[in-house]
Amino acid sequence: MKDELPDLRAMTLADAEAFAIAQGWPRFRGEQVWRWVHDRGARDFDEMTNLPREVRAELAARARVGSLAVAEVQTSRDGTRKLRLTTRDGKSIESVIIPDGDKTTQCISSQVGCAIDCQFCATAKLGLVRNLDAGEIVDQVYIARRLLHDVEPGRRITNLVYMGMGEPLHNYDNVVRSLRILTDDKGAGLSQRRITVSTAGLVPRLEKLGGEDVRPNLAVSLNAPNDEIRDAIMPINRKWNIAALLAALRAYPLEQRRRITFEYVLLAGVNDSLRDAAQLAKLLRGVKCKVNLIPWNPHPEAPYQRPAPAVIDAFQAECKRLGLPTYLRTPRGDDIDAACGQLANRSNGVPLVPLRVRGRAGNITTE
C-alpha cells in the first residue's frame, strides 16, 4: 500500500538504526525498538515499556509494527496447527506449525498464491496474487511464537521451512531479507542450519543464493527422474531442465557436512515405478543429497492419486538398495488440509480453477 508508514517488521537491525538516525534520534533507539519487535515480539508500541511515553507516541506517528491478523487456527488430531493469516489488503495466507517430539517445525509462506503452476499442487490453482513483503514473512514466525507461548508454553519453534504457499526464489529479495532478520542473534536468533528454503528450481536465483551471506539449507522439488515426466508435471522444467538444475546444485557452495534435500512427490502411475526409482538413484549419484518421498496429498482440483502403500515402500526400498538415502514423509495435518501441497485457502476471492468460461456469454473469470 502506498503512503504507508514504514513497517518495523520488514527492517533489518541496520535498517532500524538508519531509520532512527533519519528521524533525528540516537542510533541506539533504533536497536531498542528493533529488539522489541524482533526479539520480544511486540505488536504494539504500548508494549515497549522501557520507552518514554512521548517516544512511543512519536514512533507510532512515524512507523508501524506488523501487518498480519490471525483469522483462524485449526488443530489437527496429530497436533499440527494451521494458521490462516490475513494481510492488511485482505489477502489470506497459511502457515503450519508441526510438533515432532522436542522439535517444532514451522512451514511458512512466501507468496499469496504461486506462479509456478506445478500440476499436482493446490496453491498453483490460485495463480500468483502477490509477493509477501519481508515483514509479512517474518511475522508468520512471530505470530506462531506467540500462539505457542499461549497454548503450549515450553514449546518453541526450532526449525523453519519455506515450504508453504509460493515459490521463495520467485520472491527473492524479500525472502533473503527475511532470512537476515530471522537469523539475527539480537532478534529471533534462528540458526540458519535449522532453516530450509525449498524451491521448484529457479536456476539463476539458486546461483545468486549461493553468493549470499545467509546460508539456509536447500530443498529442491525434483519430483521426477527425467525431463519427460518433469516437463509434464512441472512446467518450469521446460525453462530449466534437470541437467541445468543439477549443474547449478553441483556448483552450489554447500556448507560442510550439509547436503541438499530433494523432494519427490509420489503420484500413482506417473513417477512411482521401480524404473523411475532406479533412474532417480542413477541421476543423483555423486550429488551430496538425500531424498524425501512425499506421497501425494489429495485436493479436489488435481487428477492424481496417492500410490498404494506397497508401491511407496517398494520405491523407497529400490532407491535405498541403489545407495540413495531416501526417507518417507508421513503426512502431517492432512485432516485440516495442512499437508504439503494442500495450502490453498479459498478466501482470496480468486477461483480455484484459474481460467474458467462461465455462462453462455462466455465470460472469462481469471484470478
Residues tagged active-site? 94, 340
Choice from 10, 121, 179, 277 touching ligand SAH (CB under 6 A): 121
Whole-angstrom distance between the N-terminal and C-terminal Cα of the chain? Answer: 20
User: What sign does the dihedral 135-136-139-141 (CA atoms) show?
Assistant: negative
Going along 62-205, which residue ranges are E strands? 69-75, 81-86, 92-100, 103-107, 111-113, 128-131, 159-162, 195-199
> Which one, of 85, 59, 81, lies nearest residue 71 by Cα?
85
Is residue 200 at the binding interface for ligand SAH, with CB under 6 A as the rule?
Answer: yes
Q: Whole-angstrom Cα distance, residue 258 to residue 349?
A: 41
Is residue 140 at the binding interface for ligand SAH, with CB under 6 A as the rule?
Answer: no
∠ CA 117-96-75 to the nearest 5 degrees? Answer: 125
Interface stretch with ligand SAH, choices 150-158, 193-201, 237-245, 268-276 (CB under 6 A): 193-201
Is residue 106 at the binding interface for ligand SAH, with CB under 6 A as the rule?
Answer: no
Closer residue to ligand SAH, CB minimum distance, 20 or 294? 294
Q: How far is the CB of 161 from ligand SAH (least distance, A)?
A: 8
Tell me, what amino acid is at 299?
H
Cell of 352: 480455484
Q: How far is the CB of 116 from ligand SAH (least distance, A)?
A: 6
Residue partners of 303: CB distance under 8 A and separation at least 6:
none
- The answer to whether 33 and 59 are in contact (CB under 8 A) is yes
Q: How far is the CB of 119 from ligand SAH (least distance, A)?
A: 9
Q: Which residue's beta carbon is nearest to the bound ligand SAH?
A: 341
Touching ligand SAH, residues 212-241 (CB under 6 A): 221, 223
Interface stretch with ligand SAH, choices 64-72, 84-92, 116-124, 270-278 (CB under 6 A): 116-124
Choice from 178, 297, 316, 345 touching ligand SAH (CB under 6 A): 297
Interface stretch with ligand SAH, choices 95-103, 136-144, 194-202, 273-281 (CB under 6 A): 194-202
Cell of 323: 545407495
Touching ligand SAH, residues 325-344 (CB under 6 A): 340-341
Closer residue to ligand SAH, CB minimum distance, 13 or 222? 222
Helices then strands, each counted (H, E), the chain = 10, 14
Is residue 163 at the binding interface for ligand SAH, with CB under 6 A as the rule?
Answer: yes
Is residue 98 at the binding interface for ligand SAH, with CB under 6 A as the rule?
Answer: no
Question: By rule CB under 6 A, what string of x and - marks binding of each residue 240-269 to ligand SAH?
Answer: -----------------------x-x----
Is residue 178 at the binding interface for ligand SAH, with CB under 6 A as the rule?
Answer: no
Q: Whole-angstrom Cα distance, residue 279 to residue 260?
A: 18
Hey, is 111 helix, strand or coil? strand
Q: Whole-angstrom Cα distance, residue 156 to residue 159?
A: 9
- Chain residues binding ligand SAH by CB under 6 A are 116, 120-121, 163, 167, 198-200, 221, 223, 263, 265, 294, 296-297, 299, 340-341
